[in-house]
Amino acid sequence: MMASLRNSPAINWTLFPNASSQLGLQRGLPFLVRAELTPAASNSTRKDRLGRRQVLAVGPITTWVSLFYSTSSSFAAEAKKGFLSVVDKKDGYSFLYPFGWQEVVIEGEDKVFKDVIEPLESVSVNMIPTSKQDIRDLGSPQEVAEVLIKKVLTSPSQKSKLVEATEHDVEGKTYYTFEFVAQAPNFTRHALGAISIGNGKFYTVTTGAKERRWEKMKDKLHTVIDSFKIFNV
């Protein structure tokens, strides 16, 4: 039963590349308000006219900025406080990620968000085609998690340990969630994952942080994993 998962050539993708050169930061275009500097003028009419021009120029900018932040606030309000939501209507999944994380591009990944200061704090979503209809067809939570961790989620140079793996149902869909630790030569990462099957795809979402920051980040990371849902498309 697990042989199909363990030996499947389709499960041959890396969720956590270490090379930062593979990351492509996607930044929003900043806006710039340029102030016009003028020498002091003794003519009060000129001052008044300049003042009116500044008010007229700043007015639309202020309105635009207000609308921008209002829209952003509305978007953030749809998710849990301190988190933003992602809904992928094409591939049929949704999840939350901490406010402040930025989307990055990694070849072979469907979606990745990360903290640019603490790069090991990230969430990654990936999927591969499958003929299976239910995640339970692949084995128990412990069996599937062990194979994923050893064969996909960590490299051969890392020592990994499965902490726990559980099963739960949401709206008739079965999910496996698991916790593991991966020790590399220069860091230790404490991570969480969730997997499920739907839309003819095997979905995997993973998140984590450096071991030294685990206690501080674990509640947020659990929120990310618990928020992951797939829906029919």
Q: Which structural domain range is residue 170 located in?
A: 82-230
- Residue 19: alpha-carbon gap to chain centroid: 18
| Pick from 83, 110, 77: nearest CA to 96 | 83
pLDDT value for 108:
85
pLDDT value for 134:
96
Place of tokens 């339970």: 136
pLDDT value for 106:
92
pLDDT value for 45:
45
| Pick from 231, 229, 225: nearest CA to 98 | 225
- Do residues 100 and 178 both lie within one domain? yes
- Number of helices and strands in the chain (H, E): 4, 11
- Do residues 49 and 108 both lie within one domain? no
Last residue of a domain, one of 30, 51, 77: 77
Whether the Cβ atoms of residue 114 and residue 100 lie closer than 8 Å to each other: no
- Quote the percentage of the chain above a pLDDT of 70: 66
Residues in the chain, pLDDT under 50: 1-77
For residue 35, tell me if it sits in a domain.
no
pLDDT value for 54:
47
pLDDT value for 230:
97
CATH number for the domain that contains residue 225: 3.40.1000.10
* pTM exceeding the 0.95 threshold for the entire prediction: no
pLDDT value for 79:
64
